[in-house]
Structure 1
């Protein structure tokens, strides 16, 4: 069934998109207006990175691929196996007067498109988990190329369905107040562990958890040097539900009991390093500021927070959760921040939660600052 179409505009690009009351996998052609923020970041990231080519692997309506071609000038392959999506991609290419030197529509199976090909930038935005594509992605990406990967199976990654996380991502998970950060770190860790067998290392340029999805931009580099660096960042997180302590440990360092007398719960393997690059965040923010983006305000706020929180790797603390545990009212964030800094502790806010902080202080110091 051919969907009813309406014309919208994202950035400087006109798009014909299906009119749908609900976003369902069974829809004949998929377009998600809530992903405009993600597409804005993609455009800005492509402008910063200046890849030789861009492969939009699961293009659906063509929104991302057509925007990349129209707003960055990077040559694009916009692919979707769905014949209705393929026809809509071609309509959106025509709507923006783009020729085949700027963008080519493709109607292939994703694995078929990647086989025997090499790309500078590959974007995969599946409905659900990206795990079925990771091997092909690492075989097809060029050295120093970029992978942009989305995951929407948040229930598995965030601990609601731990067996699904173990099955898909080969990682143990539990549900805690920083569930969204754990999910992102499991996802990056999974991609990293998959890259190692191709003698490839990754550097997270920009990763975030927004609304219903996770998104990561990974710089890929070949060679044992980068592989060995990545291995240092694959760890486990141990969390005590009694005192709320959390700590990264290697497999051979895991402990059963917390110093408070409680039991540790263990999640992992997962990524323990930076999930973004500060310099890339600055360049990304500059592109967002200078460009035409409908989500500019939201993007600037999130980029700023993500850049700031890279100095501290330990997962964020939820102040409301700690206050509930202590049975005390929540303090003002400004005063709390001042107390930490006056006592020479690092502290930042986090994009994961409005009530979360990142700090190098331990849980006992945090509790003291809250009480006093």
Structure 2
């Protein structure tokens, strides 16, 4: 296998010298497009490690369940200060390359050539990072069981065609919720994954408390604190509600030509204070992607967004600038912010009719 050297964050890595579409089952997978996600994760793990060490006077044990080249585990050791890191891959070539990359960066990482599910059945961890190719659904039950009383769980899904509404039946099979091809499909997909994570943790009397959850480019990512507290798990379940959607709207009861998604988590998807700490860490350490975290932090934390481009197109009018629409909605007493997911999206507690009226009025000038 021909290798080339790349640099990401503070680490150097040997990665397969092939184009991403040519990656096969016997080749360790490295995707440079995920660097921003890994930057955010490094900051999140560093912040958790600091909190954990202060609370318990010891170091957390981190598990990179699907390590491939070892990039996450090595960066956690090198940049987040993690001293006890376990990296795992069922692919023998990947495990061998991860071990070589750990030596290259002079960090101690325990590398296992095994099925991550087997490892999570046999051992318990304080931090688990699931970053599979496709859906994490097959790994989540094992992660939820393996996590300790106070821990951090990071989950990625790249099956966005399923989550964003192209394959609603597959979404039902994997996540027990039906995705839909609607204007706010990206956030709907995010909440489908988040709902699944919360439910899986609740099965073990654990609460998954969302800290920084987002959809970006070709993936969805949920980062949250996990606590073994029945009462907290129950309070999160209380944030679930039946959801009906049409192309532009959503309600908790049937309406018009709406379809039923399922019972979905409609609570907060982020913790603004945690986002602030992640953003500060990234800026301090020169990590790309802090502007994404800032957008997530500033976003109004209510379900779903309106896409102004789609609204203007349907009304057959010129689309006013996003900031003008936000300013006018706020002037009328509504909460309003940009969407962190959709560049032309806005979040507001105003109804669709009000947003359309504002867009029409502003389009005249």
* TM, length-normalised to structure 1: 0.91
Corresponding residue number in structure 2 for 1:40: 39
Q: 1:245 & 1:118 partners in 2: Cα distance?
A: 42
Q: 1:283 & 1:165 partners in 2: Cα distance?
A: 33
Corresponding residue number in structure 2 for 1:300: 290
Corresponding residue number in structure 2 for 1:246: 250
Q: CA RMSD in A?
A: 1.4
Corresponding residue number in structure 1 for 2:57: none
Corresponding residue number in structure 1 for 2:280: 286
Q: 2:294 & 2:242 partners in 1: Cα distance?
A: 27
Deviation, structure 1 residue 355: 0.7
Corresponding residue number in structure 2 for 1:86: 95
Q: 1:79 & 1:317 partners in 2: Cα distance?
A: 41
**How many residue pairs get matched?**
350
Deviation, structure 1 residue 223: 2.2
1:159–1:179 CA contact under 8 A, matched in 2: yes
Q: 1:315 & 1:16 partners in 2: Cα distance?
A: 41
Corresponding residue number in structure 2 for 1:72: 80
SS in 2 for 1:353: coil
1:79–1:110 CA contact under 8 A, matched in 2: yes
2:182–2:246 CA contact under 8 A, matched in 1: no
2:336–2:346 CA contact under 8 A, matched in 1: yes
1:78–1:104 CA contact under 8 A, matched in 2: yes
Q: 2:19 & 2:265 partners in 1: Cα distance?
A: 37
Counterpart pick for 1:21 among 7, 19, 22: 19
2:124–2:146 CA contact under 8 A, matched in 1: yes
Q: Does residue 1:174 correspond to 2:173, yes or no?
A: no
Q: 1:122 & 1:314 partners in 2: Cα distance?
A: 27
SS in 2 for 1:137: helix
Q: 1:180 & 1:25 partners in 2: Cα distance?
A: 28
Corresponding residue number in structure 2 for 1:185: 191
Corresponding residue number in structure 1 for 2:360: 371
Corresponding residue number in structure 2 for 1:201: 207
Q: 2:76 & 2:310 partners in 1: Cα distance?
A: 41
1:44–1:284 CA contact under 8 A, matched in 2: yes
1:187–1:270 CA contact under 8 A, matched in 2: no
Q: 1:185 & 1:25 partners in 2: Cα distance?
A: 31
Q: 2:304 & 2:26 partners in 1: Cα distance?
A: 37
- Listed one character per residue, the Cα deviations across residues 296-353 of structure 1 (whole Å, up to 9, x for unaligned) are 2xx12211111122x3413000001111222211012222121111111111111211
Corresponding residue number in structure 2 for 1:327: 316
Matched ranges for 1:127-146 at <5 A: 127-146=133-152
Q: 1:71 & 1:173 partners in 2: Cα distance?
A: 37
Corresponding residue number in structure 2 for 1:4: 2
Q: 2:18 & 2:215 partners in 1: Cα distance?
A: 25
Q: 2:176 & 2:94 partners in 1: Cα distance?
A: 33
- Listed one character per residue, the Cα deviations across residues 14-55 of structure 1 (whole Å, up to 9, x for unaligned) are 111111123345351111111111111111111111151211
Deviation, structure 1 residue 240: 3.4
Runs of at least 4 residues of structure 1 off by over 3 A? none
2:270–2:301 CA contact under 8 A, matched in 1: no
1:122–1:146 CA contact under 8 A, matched in 2: yes
Q: 1:223 & 1:353 partners in 2: Cα distance?
A: 35
Deviation, structure 1 residue 96: 0.9
Q: 1:347 & 1:72 partners in 2: Cα distance?
A: 35
Q: Does residue 1:235 correspond to 2:224, yes or no?
A: no
2:99–2:109 CA contact under 8 A, matched in 1: no
